[in-house]
Every structure is written in structure tokens, then in C-alpha cells.
Structure 1
Amino acid sequence: MNFITKTHQLKAAIDILLKSQFITVDTEFCREATFWPKVCLIQIASPETAILIDPLERDIDLTPFAKLMSAKETLKVFHSARQDLEMIYHLTGLIPKPLFDTQIAAMVCGHGDSISYERLVFHITKHKINKSSCFTNWSQRPLSQQQINYALADVTHLREVYTSLRDTLQQSNRYSWLNEEINKLEEETYDLSPEEAWKKVKGRVHNPRELSVLQKIAAWREREAQKRNRPRSHILKDHTLIEIAIQQPRTRNQIRNLRTIPRIYKNSDHITDQLLKTIEEALKMKKEALPTLNRCSNYQEKKEKQSQVEIIKLLLKVVTTENNVATRIVATNDDITEIVIKREKADVLAMRGWRFDIFGSKALAILNGTIGIGVQNGTIKLFDIPHAAKEDLVQERGRGLLWTKY
């Protein structure tokens, strides 16, 4: 293992790594008190070697690292890559390509939804990883030996995990399933526009006017967080944004009387006036210019369709078990609700490609009454519904089947 603190050391190590067909990559960072992540350590391993890069060293130039991340001949292997990609993007300005994400590959190979690195390593290699250093202070120097060992384990065991999953994908002809997910990772925008920040707010609004206020306030918070380099929640918490969007205060006193507004803002006319101006911009929008609520926003319609949603959820469990693939990678609960309400017009991944083949097509068949779900010999099965069946509820005593037509 090489602990690299100088540019010439890094260049020499990268020249060797560039000769490998694949490398495993991980990062350690701190961002508890900042908006922008602070990358504290970069770990890389090839089949032959492993290195640790100290990006906190003043004199180190990470250009050779950026060269490796963009090398088309070398596959970059991560586990749960999204955060690491964000770190690398803000460090180098590029997204590593080509990519392989072992967490996604594990879902495709039937290891469950979003399996942790620790559990996946144990499943495949039988090694137990000591996670005691997971939340240590990675910005401190020198790093302890325990931290170094932990950091190395994040990439050295990943080599065996990768080769095992790669072989399984090849044997099951599911590489195309994985590549579809990897393409989304590579195409994702990791420099979030303030105007898109509302999409990550937890909570619900109920109409287009409330949504327009939420969009404006979330964009204001994003800019403030970036400018001050503080976490979003240190500016305003998500539930405060939702309260503002719903209550739509129009005076200083109305803002100060909000239950969730921070006390420091109650004493600041400057901040209060910024919020009022932002809210006013949203309230002045003409009706035809208001945004539309995402997907299935009609509560009553969702409530009426709930029994169908539950049946399609059961279908999802059946087909993912049969195909040995994680449910989350096939469809989400929101996807299912949209399929039930919009049928063939549902604009979700489950209605395209391999997901449609194993799940979406069957969901439509159940909703259209051409197949049903039943129990045979204690196992849940899918069955064709006889064309002659007229009743909404059909039972065939000989096989003990029960299905519902919609």
C-alpha cells in the first residue's frame, strides 16, 4: 500500500493503474457542517496494488487522478457510487467513465434492495469488515492505522465482489439490465441547479400555487446554502419550506409567527424581507404559468385505486422472486400507483425495456383482467383467466385458485 502525498508519487502510481482493466474506487469525506463536501481521502485498488491519496495536502496536484477517472480503457468500480461521483465531480469537474456499481449489480443479481458494502462483502467473500472507523474524523492528520486499514478494506475486498458479480451478470445475460442503470448514473447532473432543488425537499404540497412557492423558496435556500457553504438544513429545514409553501405568509409578522421558522430569522428583517420577496414572486405567477404537481397528485383517485395498488405490489413481489432481482430496481410504490391510474400511459421505467417484460406487461394484464394471482400448493402463482369467465370474482375449486378482474 502506498500513502500518496506528493504529485510525483501520484503520477507514478496512476501510470501503473492505467494499465489495469479495472480499478476499485472509494472516497472518505466530511460535510456535516458544510454545503460543499470536503474530500479527505481517496482510495484506489487494482488487482495488483492499492493506494491511498491525501487530497488535503497543499502541494498535491490531482490532475493525474482526473486522467485516471476519464480513462476509457479502465473500468471504475464503486459501491453505491452516487456520493462518490458527486465528490469526484466537485474535485475534478468530471464524471468517472466507464462505471460499474456493485450495489446496483447486486440488486440485479438478487442480493436484495440497496445492500450495504459490509453485507455484500460477507455474502460473497465471507470476510467481516470492521466498521468502527466509519464515522471517524477523516480530516484529522495523521490518520490512525485503524482508519488506514478501514479505508483500504473499502477497495481491496471490492475487487473480489466485482469479479463475482461480473461473472454472475455474464452467466445470467443481465449485463444490459445493469448498463441501463449505470447510464443513468453517468448522465445524472451532479451540479444541482437551485431551480431544481425543490425536488429533493421531503414533504408534500397540495396544489400548483403551493408548489410554485415551494420551488421559489427552495431555490432561495439553495443559493444561500451555497453562498455561505452551510448545509441546507442550517438555512431552513424541509418542514419549514413546506409550512411556508402552504401558509404563504405575506408580512413580517406572519413569517415570524410560523411555528417552524428559526428564531434567528424572527429577529432579522433582512432575511424576512428576502423570504417575503421570494414568496411574492410565486404568488404573482399567472395561473397558466403555474407548475403541475408530479405524477398522481389526486388523493381521492389514489384512495379509490388502493386495492388495485396492493395487488400490483403483490405482483411485484412475485415476479422479482421468480426472476431473483431486487424489487426496488424494478418499480417503486409511486411507479405502481401511476401504473394503476394511468395504465399504458404511465411514464415510468417499469413500463419500458426489461422491466416491462418481467413486470409492467403483467401489471397491465392483471389490471385488464386477462391474468390473475392465485395460490397453488401454497405458492403464489400467476394464471390466465378463462375467457368465458363473466364474474368479477372467479374461483376454480379444482386448483384452489382465486383471482380478481378489474
Structure 2
Amino acid sequence: MHTITQTPDLAAFCERAANAQFITVDTEFMRESTYWPKLCLIQIATEDEAVLIDPIAGKLDFAPLLALFDDKDVVKVFHAAKQDIEIFVKMSGRTPNPVFDTQVAAAVCGFGDSVAYNSIVKQVTGGEIDKSSRFTDWSHRPLSEKQQRYALADVTHLRDVYEHLLTELDRQKRHEWVADEMADLMRPELYRVEPEDAWKRLKMKVNKPLELAIMQELAAWRERRAQDQDVPRGRVMKDEAIFELAQQQPADAKAFDRLRSFSRGFGRSDQAADIMAVIARVKKRDKTELPKVPRRPRGPSPRGPIGDLMRVLLKSVAEDAGVAPRVIASSDDIDALVLDDEADIPAMHGWRKKLFGDRALAIKHGKLALGASPEAVIPIEVDINPPQ
């Protein structure tokens, strides 16, 4: 097993790999106690070589690797790519280009939604991967032989999976289906969390503009603090605490003692002082500067008959295409489409729109009906202006 710990060896490998049509890539990292993933190992394989790149045991300049990732003549193949790509975006500000995600392609080829790597390896190659090293401490050195074998298996089997999926995409004429997904994976902004946008991931809803403004500012404050201290955002403050603060708006130390999300005495801490300063600053805004609380869309209920018919259509379309329904549209997609014809959802873009989105809107507007035979659901076009 070849482990690279020095920059000259990394540069030499990357020079050889630049002649390959594709490389398979995986990483081992830890982030249970950090905001940013802590990179512990990089695995890369070409068609005839596989290496481990160790950023902990050696002193490495990653410039040769990042140059290889920028090489548009070499496809970078991952399985479930987002977390791996996030690491490289943090390194360079750029995504590898081009990329191919075998999990996405597998879903399009009928292997199921979010298929696990060991499952697709078994289906494609018949091989088994020993997953017992998956949750070991990858930051500990030296790595055991078992860990190294596991790490290499993640990229050597991936070569066979990639080539099999390319063949399947050719056979089913579905390269277009994955093209948009791969383009989306290469957007650097997908991997950046801007503090000002952090509130969008919160599930709680508020009803007043002032509460929404406080929630936005506190979420941004928490995100910056978590990034600066490199700790999980939940360790700074829980989501529920942000929601409670937005509603209760404590203005002094004693007020924190009446909140469920904070321990007694927290109000005297420096963190509480920062929180109160954020709340006070927002409360000084003019009402015209406060954000508008989004109105609930008016229209048919997502859980009514239109949504039910769309779900029947989705199941039928998915069965015909030989893919899991969620690959085409999620339940949230359907809810959004019932409420808004212009919903910006995956089901209304690219191949999904042709396969499902357009027909779902036709059902919504009475231009398409669903019939049934013993074998299948049958879409039936409806003439909404029949001759008199």
C-alpha cells in the first residue's frame, strides 16, 4: 500500500494521474467536535494505481492535487460527493471539475434513492466491503493495515462502479438526466454557509417582523461564532434557543433565568451580553427596515385531492422509468407545486420537468386526468374547452 506523506511524491503521482481519463476519490474526516471537517486521509485511484494521501503524518503542499482537480480532461469520481467536495472547496475556494457522483447516477439507473456504497459495490461487482473500520479514529497514527485496506477499497471498487454506471447510462440514454445534477455539484456556493443565510435552515416559524429580524441576526451571530471557534453550531446555541430568544427578547441578565433554553446564571455570561446586544440592535431598527414575514400561499391544500393525484402520477412515472419516486420529486416538491406553479424545485427543472413536473401542473389545472387499468395508471389528456 502506497501512502504519500511528502509533496514531491504527491506531485509525481498527480503528474501520472493527469494522463488518466478519470480518477476515483474519497476522504476520511472527522467533524463531531468541529464546525469544519478535519481532513484525515485522501484516497485516490487511477485505472492502474491507488494511493493514500496522508495530511496528518506528513507535510504536504496540496497545490499539485488541486491542479489535478482543476484539470477538465480528468473526471473526478466520488460516491455521495457533497461532504468530500466541501473539504476541497474549503482548501481552495473551488470545486473539482468535472465531477461524477456515482450515488446520483445509481439513482437514475434504478439502484434506488441514496444507495449506500457497499450496496452498489455488491450489486455491481459481487464483492463485499468490510465496513468495520468506517467509524474508527482516522486522526490517530499510525493507521492500521485494516484501516488502510478499507480506505483503498473505497476507491478501487469505485472504478468498477463508475464504468458500470457509464454503460448503464448509455444503454438507458440517461446521460442528460445526470448532467444537471453534476453541474449543481460543481457550484462552490453550494458548500459555503454565509452567516446572513444561516436562518434559512431553521425549521421554526415566527409571525412578527421583529421576531424574524431577531432570528436572522442571532442565527448569523451563532454561525460566525461557530466558524471562528471551529465548533458545531449547536454547541454555541441550539436552534430552539434562537426561536425562544426571538420571541422573549430578554433585555437583562435576570430575564434569561425565565427561559427554558438556558441554565440559571447564564444571563451573567459574556455570551448572554452578546445576545442581548444583538437583540437591542435589532429593536432599534425602524419598522420599515424589518423583514416581511412570508405570507402563507393561498390556494388548494397540499394535502388535498390535487396533491393526492400528483403523488399517484409520481408513483406511476417512477415505475415506468424504473427509479425511486424520490429521485424525481420529493413530497415537499409536490406540496410546493400545489401551492405555486412557479415553485423553484428540482421537479420543475431539466429531465424531471419533462418526466413529471409538466404533467403535474396539467393535473393541477384540469388538463390531465388519471385512469387505471389492472396493470398501470394511465394519464388521459382532458379537453377543457369541448366543442358545443
What TM-score, normalized to structure 1? Answer: 0.88
| Aligned residue pairs, count | 385
Amino acid in the other structure paired with 1:68: L
Is 1:191 the counterpart of 2:192 in the alignment?
yes
- Identity over aligned pairs, percent: 41
What's the counterpart of residue 103 of structure 1? 103
Which amino acid counterpart does residue 273 of structure 1 have in structure 2? Answer: A
Partner in structure 2 of residue 220 of structure 1: 221
Relative to structure 1, is the Cα distance of residues 337 and 210 closer, same or farther in structure 2, using a 3 angstrom cutoff? farther
Moved more, 197-206 or 311-320: 197-206
In the other structure, the counterpart of 2:211 is 210
- Pair 1:238 & 2:239 matched: yes
1:143 lines up with 2:143 in the alignment:
yes
**1:349 is matched with which residue?**
346
CA contact (8 A) 1:55 1:62 kept: no
Q: In the alignment, residue 372 of structure 2 is paired with which amino acid?
A: V
Against the structure 1 CA distance between its residues 370 and 154, is the aligned structure 2 distance closer, same or farther, given a 3 Å change threshold?
same
Note the alpha carbon deviations across 1:156-209, whole angstroms, 9 max, x for none.
111111111111112222212211111111114223221112223344434544
Counterpart in the other structure of 2:37? 37
Distance of 1:209 and 1:175 partners within structure 2 = 48
Q: Distance in 1 between matches of 2:74 and 2:272?
A: 52
1: CA distance between counterparts of 2:106 and 2:352?
Answer: 16
Aligned partner of 1:310 in structure 2 is 308
> Would the aligned equivalents of 2:42 and 2:54 in 1 still touch at CA under 8 Å?
yes
Distance 2:292 2:360 in 1: 27
Partner Cα distance (1:321, 1:11) in 2: 48
Tell me the distance in 1 between the aligned counterparts of 2:381 and 2:6: 67
Deviates more, 1:364-373 or 1:377-386: 377-386
Query: Which letter maps to 1:368?
Result: H
Asked if 1 retains the 8 angstrom alpha-carbon contact of 2:301 and 2:339, the reply is no
> Structure 2 vs 1, CA of residues 263 and 137 (structure 1 numbering), >3 Å: closer, same or farther?
farther
Q: Which secondary structure does the structure 2 equivalent of 1:132 belong to?
A: helix
Amino acid at match of 2:339: I
C-alpha deviation, 1:340, in angstroms: 0.8
Query: Which residue is 2:275 aligned to?
Result: 275
Does the 8 A contact of 1:305 with 1:341 survive in 2? no
Distance in 2, Cα, partners of 1:291 & 1:37? 33
CA shift, 1:90, in A, is 1.8
Q: Are positions 1:380 and 2:367 aligned together? A: no
* Offset of residue 83 of structure 1: 0.6
Q: Distance in 2 between matches of 1:377 and 1:237?
A: 52
3-state DSSP of counterpart to 2:133 = coil
Which deviates further from its counterpart, 191-200 or 229-238? 191-200
Q: Which moved more, 1:71-80 or 1:199-208?
A: 199-208
Deviation at 1:293, TM superposition (A): 5.2
C-alpha separation between the residues in 1 aligned to 2:293 and 2:314?
26
User: For residues 317 and 216 of structure 1, do their structure 2 counterparts lie closer, same or farther at Cα, with a shift above 3 Å needed?
Assistant: same
User: Does the 8 A contact of 1:302 with 1:337 survive in 2?
Assistant: no
C-alpha displacement at 1:300, in angstroms?
A: 7.9
Q: Please tell me whether the aligned partners of residues 109 and 168 of structure 1 are also in contact (alpha carbons under 8 angstroms).
A: yes
The 3-state SS of whatever aligns with 2:127 is coil
CA shift, 1:278, in A, is 1.3
Q: 5+ residue gaps in structure 2?
A: none
Report the Cα distance in structure 1 between the residues aligned to 2:265 and 2:187, rounded to whole angstroms: 40
1:361 aligns with 2:358: yes
Distance 1:94 1:162 in 2: 23
Is the CA contact (8 Å cut-off) linking 1:45 and 1:155 kept in structure 2?
Answer: yes
1:88-167 counterparts in 2 under 5 A?
88-167=88-167
Paired residues for 1:384-395 under 5 Å? 384-385=381-382
Q: CA deviation at 1:374?
A: 3.2
The structural deviation recorded for 1:299 is: 8.0
| CA offsets 1:76-114 (integer angstroms, 9 cap, x no match) | 000111110111122333311110011111122122211
Quote the Cα distance in structure 1 between the aligned partners of 2:377 and 2:317.
Answer: 10
The alignment partner of 1:40 has SS state of strand
- Cα RMSD over matched residues? 2.3
Change (3 A) 1:300 1:365: closer
2: CA distance between counterparts of 1:164 and 1:304? 39
Q: Name 2:170's counterpart in structure 1.
A: 170
- Equivalent in the alignment of 2:49: 49
CA contact under 8 A between 1:221 and 1:235: conserved in structure 2? yes
Distance 1:34 1:119 in 2: 30
**1:125/1:309 Cα in 2 relative to 1: closer, same or farther (>3 Å)?**
same
Contact 2:366 2:382 in 1 (8 A): yes
Per-residue CA deviation, residues 49-96 of structure 1 (Å, 9 max, x unaligned), is 100000113522222111111111110000111110111122333311
Q: What is the CA-CA distance between 1:373 and the residue it aligns to?
A: 2.4
Question: Which residue matches 1:200?
Answer: 201
State how far apart, in whole Å, the 2-side matches of 1:140 and 1:126 are.
Answer: 32
Quote how far apart the aligned CAs of 1:148 are: 0.7
Identify the range of structure 1 (185-194 vs 73-82) with the bigger mean alpha-carbon deviation.
185-194
Q: TM-score, normalised to structure 2's length?
A: 0.91
**1:152 Cα offset (Å):** 0.7
Other-structure match for 1:331: 329
Distance 1:279 1:355, change over 3 A: same
- For the Cα contact (< 8 Å) 2:266–2:272, is it kept in 1? yes
C-alpha deviation, 1:321, in angstroms: 1.7
Query: Relative to structure 1, is the Cα distance of residues 304 and 312 closer, same or farther in structure 2, using a 3 angstrom cutoff?
Result: closer
